[in-house]
Structure 1
Amino acid sequence: MKVADSAGLPSNEPFNWHDETTVLHGDAALNADASVVPPIHYSATYRARSAAEFADMANTPRHPGFYNRYGNPVHKHVEAILAELEQTETALLMGSGMGAISTTILSLVERGDHVIAQQRHYMSTSKLFEEVLPRFGVTCTLVDQTDNEAFAAAIRSETRLIMVETPVNPTLSLTDLKAVADLARPRGIITVADNTFASPLNQRPHELGIDIVVHSATKYFGGHHDLMAGAVCCSQALAERIWPMHVTLGSVLSPMDAWLLLRGLRTLPLRMERINANAQAVAEWLETQPAIDRVFYPGLPSHSQHNLARRQMKGYGAVIAFSIKGGFEATSQFVSSLKLATHAVSLGGVETLIVHTAAMWAGTMTEAQMQSAGIEPNFVRMSVGVEHIDDLKADLATALAAIA
């Protein structure tokens, strides 16, 4: 639980800050000087004043002042805020979202173990389970994330881990987090949830029983499409298992990106409030357009899992998926006709981004893999930003008119 005194520094009295306050003051206890903004610590290594101090630095896990691969003072500021937002004991920062996911999984499984994952995951996560882990003797079962019974049926005596992602990229299907956690915990199975598409402002998997929450911090946390980072939020005990693998694999977050990430977190609640409102309005508007075949957004009553979304989410995020009538060519023309929405990958930043998903992944996925992931030729993924809603609608309307 968070604790602070009247100056915003630690005390023994509990308090309950709102998210808007946490992102601004949740790291206040770490301020080493009078700086309002923590400085960037651009040093790869740090000086010890004695042999005893060096030994202590070298043998203290996650020491922020020994060697940058082990930690950085700015990392601690970010980790303190992320742990509070996800309501976990601690957090670990890494160089990318996939660095966080791969490091976490590889630290928790070994030859002979069995893991359960979803049929639909972020593409690189799917490759980890389908192509990488089997090479090291770890067997994987992929299940329909919308079917709680499928998770239960896949459990074996050697199952050690279940990995979920909700909402999933790019189809926005949901996983019942509490149901998965309730299946896993009595059996001693570790659960990992990728919460990137939701953010802790909209969904907190740990509060629903999930053990480890991972993020591509590149997205909402950074918020400005100018950094790459990953985060793992979990208990101290699990962090102690994950950290040695992190040091070995070396997915390190640079001091500058850590500082930019901290700056981005300061405005996360403000941005998410606008993004949630804009995306809901755009999704509702798209459903009324004759050129649109289907719209996928958890905040819409038409979403097949809308009731689940209302139970486990407080907001529904930036990402909308929709399909264009007219197939691949019409979809390509639509995306090319947009002027305000930027044709680029990623999500969760202040600018609206859009991609034609079939075109984006055609070079890295087979037709069978795209079908399994639910990627149709006329599928579009849009990450709604903070622009004025009327301007976003006008841009979309002009592009739709171009294919009418």
Structure 2
Amino acid sequence: MSLRSLFSRLQSSQKATLGAFKDKRRPARQTNSWRYYIVSFLVVLSLLLSAFWLLMLIGYQLGAYNPITWLACALVIGLLTSLLLVKIKPKLASKVINNTFHRPFSQSTIITWLAGLYAAVWLLGFGWFFSIEAKQSRDWMPEVSHRVTYERDETNPDLITFTNVRNFDWHTSEDATERWETRTVDMSKLSGVDVTNSYWMGPLIAHTLVSFRFEDDRPLAFSFEIRKENGESFSAFAGFFRRYELSLIASEERDIIYTRSNARGEQVYLLPVSHLQQSEVKSLFESYLTAADELNAKPAWYNTLTSNCTNIIFYMARIVSGERLPWDYRIWVSGWLPNYLYDVGMLDANPKDSGQPWSMATWYERAHVNPKVRGFDNQADLDNQANSSKFSAQIRQGIPIPPLADSQAKADAKAKSAAKASNE
């Protein structure tokens, strides 16, 4: 073989090797490119979400037409636009900034300063958010103007005397005759718990109330609600930004359920919780007393996600019942709370007066309050207690009222059996 042929072969093999090497490197560059775009997307998304949160906070706290709100919007949007411009059009951005300050800055320096300034503005807003304190004294709407308080009997701690139990006569959704009463209940006579869901914004969102039944007395209802000021309306978005104080209302059902089913026209369902011991019911009742103490000692904020009318109840109930109430996404989708209770066996799937198990559809049909109280005369010529008892009896027509369980073992066994029946 001649030297010329040898060099020719070596040269061709070297080109092939370099070509293979380039082919091997090409996917790596492509992979790095994808990683770069994913990271960039996440960074941009984080910036946009953080800016949205900050501007919503300022808007809900100060008002959309406040000059400070507009200045904050201009500052935040200006910073984000500048950051975006530096990445997309670095030469143009550098030229504008250098001409403005009459000195040269590198692209990395510009990005560092803009990002640092935005971070400082956002952290300032974040710190302000946590410094906003809830208050007890505002111009409250009449239905949340009083705070429930209580006293225990010195000789019998089961006797609880409540002050400021709400018992309004509702004429329309906004007009009512105010009445705040004092009422004494005996915790040793607790006989059960009912959960009421009131649907006011579609099938996913409901307001949740809890009623405690007594052996020889009418039920007493509790409701965690926003404490609205006069002229204020509820916004789910505003509930994320420390806009509403939290309120605990103790009320007659003739007030707090009637105003939803009849005055406002919401769709209301009352569901008796099964397979509970009296000790569990009493502990849950005590949890409400503790909540009243805490809110009276220090006001708290309502939060649409973490401390709303449904999941606060779940937190308290889970302390009482533990693993019998597993964590579930439906705790945050309040409209599906009845289905959750059914699936975990806390609604009796096979009432004694029925020849076959009740489906969830049957429960919704039987538990529907509106048809039972349509036309109910809330202004009847009866004393308040008699009218309250009549309303409470009427909303429970057609549904089984479960007895309390004798023991924890029986309660657990029946709940597991009901859960199994509900899932078959």
Q: Same fold (TM over 0.5)?
A: no
Please state which band the TM-score falls in when normalised by the shorter chain: under 0.3
Q: Structure 2-normalised TM-score?
A: 0.25
Give the helix-richer structure, 1 or 2: 2
Which entry has the higher C-alpha Rg, 1 or 2?
2
